[in-house]
Amino acid sequence: MGTGKRGLIATAVTVIGAVTVLAAPGAAFAAPSPTPTPSPTASASATVSGTAVTNKDIEAVRLKLDALYHDAAVATDAYNAAEEKAEQQSAQIVELAKKIVQGQEKLRKLKARAGAAAAAQYRGYGLSDEAQLMLSDNPQEFLDGTGRVLQGQRATKALITELSRTQQDLRQYADDASAQWTKLEAGRKAKAAAKKRIEQQISAAEKLESQLEEQEKKRLAELEEQAAYKAQTAWLDSGVLKEINGSASTAGKRAVEYATTQIGKPYEWGAEGPKSYDCSGLTSQAWASAGDPIPRTSQEQWKQLKHIDVKDMRPGDLIIYFDDASHVAMYIGDGAIVHAPRPGRTVTIAGAGSMPILGVVRPDA
């Protein structure tokens, strides 16, 4: 590691780079504010421990942190998807188990009925029909009995068919349960792998940030705000906001109210509230509270919900960010969003254009 502060940061960036591939900036951040006025400590360079640390160094750290947190967000989506599938598969296994129990009880009763029918046939109808007719004191009674025998034979045939069908159903239920269990185990492994990757990325980011002195952390925060402000300004300068004038639906208003009430609560990957949230945990819970359940992850929200043009969006709609749909926020009007940005941040309001927009979806289309 370098002897000076600049060398320390450069080495930290290199070390962290070994555990992640540098990608385009991908972590959400606090709401943009007017470009901060550079302070003496935020000038092009400063001297720390006798070594100059430039804004270029801090910007490199910011980009690396963005990449780490973006990768953690992708892994969080994978974790949440595995969690959701595990819940569904567990519920299916429970239902199949109930069907198996019910099927076994039905099979037991059918076997008992079949045994009773076989015993009755053995007791009453061991002789041939001709012999029974000759020995009968009442031929009409015999004929009536013969009719009942035919009915009994048809009932027995139906009973055997039902027995066979029930046995087939039980085998199918068992096969389905086994298949669901296999999927559940695979999902658990995927979930564990995603969890490990999340923890690695967040740990790497925290380690990188820990290399910074307080004034450098302040400069890092300023650079984050500047990047967000620049992106938001470019988005607004496109004139898009002039075209956006949709009014929130009744459900949308409820969703916005829920989401904005969570402002200030910490980001936590995999969390769905009420004390903390990740990005899709916030949006999914907001819409669940509005009476319109939606998929748990940002990627599934992008896949399953109706896509609309940005110019047509209204408060309550969800904006999906980055090419891999790894982040989601709720539009609240006036060019602003509410979202859970990333680890170390809280639910906050930001500019809708402060991150690369993939598209917009409407939960209550």
Q: Which of 9, 16, 19 is nearest to 197 (CA)?
A: 19
Burial class (CB in 10 A: 0-12, 13-18, 19+), 43: exposed
Phi, psi (deg, nearest 5) at residue 59:
-65, -40
Q: Supply 362's token pair.
A: 């409407």
What is the b/e burial string over 52-65, where b = at least 16 CB atoms within 10 angstroms of the residue's CB? ebebebbeebbbbb
Return the H-helix or E-strand segment holding 46. Answer: strand 45-48
Catalytic residue among 62, 327, 342, 362: 327
Give whole-number Cα distances, 193 to 79, 81, 320, in Å: 8, 13, 25
The position carrying tokens 């980055």 is 322
In 3-state terms, what secondary structure has residue 332? strand
- Bridge partners of 331, per DSSP, are 337
Helices 279-289 and 55-124, axial angle in degrees (round to 10): 50
Q: How far apart are the first and last CA of the chain?
A: 55
CA atoms of 32 and 226, how far apart (whole Å): 7
328 near 320, Cβ under 8 Å?
Answer: yes
Catalytic residue among 68, 279, 282, 305: 279
Helices 214-237 and 55-124, axial angle in degrees (round to 10): 80
Q: Confirm whether 279 is a catalytic residue.
A: yes
CA atoms of 5 and 236, how far apart (whole Å): 39
In eight-state DSSP terms, residue 294 is -
CA atoms of 192 and 363, how far apart (whole Å): 30
Catalytic residue among 339, 342, 348, 361: 339
Q: Which residues does the annotation mark as catalytic?
A: 279, 327, 339
